[in-house]
C-alpha cells in the first residue's frame, strides 16, 4: 500500500537527517571513545616519571613494575566510569628502599597528585571528544555531498518507487554500516589487562597493625608473587606512611589553635613560604596558619624542590592544590633551576615574577627567580664566579627597574644576595627572601637619601637540612611569615615557628613603622 502524498513528502524531508544521524553519531562516539582508550600521556607521579593510560574501569591502578604489586584505588565518584592505569617509571634515587620511603611520604599527602591526574584525564577526554566530533562532521560532509550528487529527481524516484519497508531497510542497512565502522575502530584487545585478583591491605597483612585511615582502607593490592616477595618493602612503606601521617596530621591539628594577628579594616594578609624542598606534608599546616590569619595571598620564595627535576612536579601540585583560591606570587630558587619547574609553576597558575613589576590584588611586586644552580641540579657547572656575576647582574637589573617604576612595594627574591643593591636604593618598602634556612631580620637598610627598606629572610618552611626535607617528621625547625598590607603597601610582619617536636609558636606582630622608627 502506497503512502499518502503528505507522508511521502514528510518522509522525503526527514529521511536525510535520520540517515545521517544513524551513521555519523555512532561513528563519532566510537572514535572519541577509542581515541581516549588508546591514548597515553607522560606525567609525573610522586618520585616517578610515569605514563597515564585512561580506561573505563572507574579505578586508578598504579603499576610499580614486576618487583612490587599493583595498587588499586576505587574512586568514590568516577565520572562516566573513567579510570586509568599509571605505569610508574624511573626515579632519581640510589636504592629501592629510598624510593619506597619517598613514595610513602608523598602518598601521605596525595591530593595534589590526584588533582594532577584528574586534570590530565579531563584534558585527554576533551581532546578525544573533539576528535570524535571532527570525524563525525567530516563524515557528515562526505555523506551530504553524496546525497546532493544523487540529485533531487533520483532521490524522489527512489522514495516514490519504493515501499516503506524498503526505505526502512535502507535506513537499517546504513545503520548497520555505521555499526560496522564502530566495530572496526574498537579498542585493541591486547590493551585489556589479564584478570587480576585484588586483596585489601588488611587481608594482605593480617598481622600488621594498620591505622584507621580511609585512604589506606580504599587501597587494594594485586595478589601474587610480587606481593609475597615485596612484603618487607611494603611493610616498611606502610610504617613510613603511618609515622609521617601521625606527625604531620597532629601538626595540622595543633596549627588550628595557633593565635595570629588577623587583618584590620582595609587590610589584607599574605603567607610567605620558602625552601619547602618537596615536603608536601607541611602544606596543610601552612594552609591552616593562613586560614587563622585570614590570608588571601601566598608568596612563594622558591626552592620548592631539591633537584629541579620533572618528577618533583608533585611539590608544585601540592602547593597549588592546598592554596586553591589564593593569589600565588612566586619566584623559583637555585634548587629549582632549569626551565621545567619555573614553567610548571606558571602553568599551575602561579604569578611567576620575571624581573618586571607586577600588580596583584593592588600590591606592586618585583622579583625574579634565582639565576644560580645548586650542586643537585642539572645546570650546575661548579663555577662560582659565574654564580656571583649572575647574582650581581640580577640585583642591578632589579634595582634599576624598581627605581624607574617608582611604585614597587615588595620585592621577592630567593636569596637576599639578589637584592643587596635594591635594599640600599630605598626604592622598595620590603624585601622578602629565603635560601638560608634560618631567620635573618627583620632589618632596616637605609639609602643615601635615608629612604628605609625592611629586609627579612624566612627560615625553611619544609624544615629542610641542606636540600632534604622529606621524612616522617621535621629535620630542623620550620618557619613561615605573615605579611599584612594596607592600601597596597606592607605594614606589618609576624613570623610563625615550628620546632621538631611539633610545637608551633607565633612571634609578636611588628609593624614596619616600629621597625623603621623616626
Contact yes or no for 435/303 (Cβ under 8 A): yes
Other CB atoms within 10 A of residue 48 CB: 24
Rounded CA separation 459/304 (Å): 13
pLDDT at 39 (0 to 100): 84
- Residue 365 three-state SS: strand
pLDDT at 114 (0 to 100): 73
Per-position DSSP letters for 405-464, written without gaps between them: H----EEEESSGGGGHHHHHHT--SEEEE-SSSS-EEEEEEE-TT--EEEEEEPPPTT--
Compute CA distances 318 → 115, 279, 469, whole Å: 9, 9, 15
Task: Give the DSSP H/E element, type plus range, for residue 3.
Answer: none
Rounded CA separation 117/268 (Å): 33
> 57-90: string of b/e by CB count within 10 Å (b at 16+)?
bebbbbbbeeebbbbbbebeeeeeebbbbbbbbe
Predicted TM-score (pTM) of the model is: 0.72
pLDDT, mean of each 10-residue run, the chain (518 residues): 60 65 79 82 73 83 77 65 78 57 61 74 84 83 76 64 52 51 48 69 72 67 74 70 81 95 96 93 95 98 87 87 95 86 92 96 95 60 66 94 96 95 96 95 94 96 82 88 97 97 96 89
- Residue 472 three-state SS: coil
Cell numbers found for residue 411: 620585592
The closest of 159, 136, 147 to 21, measured between CA atoms, is 136
Which residues does 215 contact at the CB level (< 8 Å), separation at least 6?
110
Contact yes or no for 23/174 (Cβ under 8 A): yes
Amino acid at each position: 500500500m502506497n503512502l499518502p502524498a503528505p507522508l511521502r513528502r514528510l518522509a522525503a524531508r526527514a529521511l536525510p537527517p535520520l540517515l545521517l544521524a544513524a551513521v555519523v553519531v555512532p561513528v563519532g562516539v566510537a572514535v572519541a571513545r577509542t581515541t581516549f582508550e588508546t591514548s597515553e600521556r607522560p606525567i609525573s607521579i610522586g618520585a616517578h616519571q610515569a605514563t597515564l593510560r585512561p580506561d573505563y574501569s572507574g579505578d586508578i591502578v598504579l603499576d610499580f613494575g614486576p618487583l612490587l604489586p599493583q595498587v588499586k584505588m576505587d574512586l568514590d565518584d568516577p565520572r562516566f566510569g573513567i579510570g586509568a592505569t599509571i605505569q610508574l617509571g624511573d626515579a632519581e634515587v640510589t636504592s629501592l628502599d629510598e624510593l619506597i620511603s619517598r613514595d610513602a611520604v608523598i602518598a601521605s599527602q596525595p591530593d595534589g597528585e590526584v588533582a594532577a591526574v584528574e586534570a590530565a584525564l579531563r584534558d585527554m577526554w576533551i581532546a578525544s571528544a573533539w576528535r570524535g566530533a571532527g570525524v563525525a562532521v567530516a563524515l557528515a560532509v562526505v555523506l551530504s555531498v553524496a546525497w546532493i550528487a544523487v540529485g533531487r529527481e533520483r532521490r524522489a524516484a527512489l522514495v516514490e518507487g519504493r515501499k516503506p519497508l524498503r526505505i526502512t531497510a535502507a535506513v537499517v542497512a546504513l545503520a548497520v554500516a555505521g555499526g560496522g565502522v564502530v566495530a572496526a575502530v574498537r579498542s585493541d584487545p591486547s590493551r585489556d589487562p589479564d584478570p587480576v585478583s585484588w586483596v585489601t591491605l588488611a587481608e594482605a597483612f593480617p598481622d600488621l597493625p594498620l591505622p584507621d585511615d580511609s585512604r589506606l582502607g580504599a587501597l587494594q593490592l594485586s595478589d601474587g608473587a610480587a606481593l609475597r616477595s615485596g612484603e618487607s618493602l611494603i611493610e616498611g612503606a606502610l610504617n613510613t606512611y603511618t609515622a609521617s601521617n601521625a606527625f604531620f596530621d597532629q601538626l595540622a591539628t595543633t596549627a588550628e589553635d595557633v593565635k595570629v594577628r588577623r587583618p584590620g579594616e582595609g587590610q589584607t594578609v599574605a603567607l610567605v613560604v620558602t625552601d619547602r624542598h618537596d615536603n608536601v606534608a607541611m602544606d596543610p599546616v601552612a594552609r591552616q596558619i593562613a586560614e587563622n590569619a585570614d590570608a588571601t595571598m601566598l608568596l612563594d620564595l622558591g626552592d620548592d624542590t631539591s633537584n629541579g627535576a620533572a618528577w618533583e612536579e608533585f611539590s608544585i601540585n601540592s602547593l597549588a592544590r592546598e592554596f586553591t583560591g589564593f593569589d600565588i606570587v612566586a619566584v623559583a630558587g637555585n634548587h629549582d633551576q632549569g626551565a621545567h619547574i619555573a614553567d610548571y609553576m606558571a602553568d599551575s597558575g602561579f604569578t611567576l615574577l620575571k624581573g618586571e613589576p607586577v600588580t596583584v590584588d593592588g600590591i606592586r611586586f618585583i622579583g625574579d627567580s634565582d639565576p644560580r644552580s645548586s650542586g643537585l641540579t642539572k645546570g650546575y657547572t661548579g663555577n662560582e664566579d659565574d654564580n656571583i656575576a649572575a647574582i650581581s647582574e640580577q640585583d642591578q637589573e632589579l634595582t634599576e627597574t624598581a627605581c624607574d617604576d617608582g611604585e614597587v612595594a615588595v620585592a621577592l627574591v630567593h636569596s637576599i644576595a639578589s637584592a643587596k643593591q635594591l635594599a640600599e636604593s630605598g626604592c622598595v618598602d620590603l624585601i622578602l627572601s629565603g635560601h638560608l634556612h634560618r631567620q635573618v631580620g627583620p632589618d632596616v637598610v637605609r639609602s643615601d637619601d635615608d629612604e628605609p627598606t625592611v629586609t627579612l629572610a624566612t627560615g625553611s618552611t619544609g624544615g629542610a637540612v641542606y636540600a632534604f626535607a622529606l621524612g616522617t617528621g621535621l629535620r630542623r625547625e620550620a618557619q613561615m611569615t605573615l605579611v599584612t598590607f594596607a592600601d597596597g603597601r606592607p605594614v606589618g610582619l609576624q613570623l610563625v615557628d615550628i620546632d621538631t617536636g611539633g610545637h608551633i609558636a607565633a612571634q609578636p606582630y611588628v609593624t614596619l613603622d616600629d621597625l623603621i622608627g623616626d
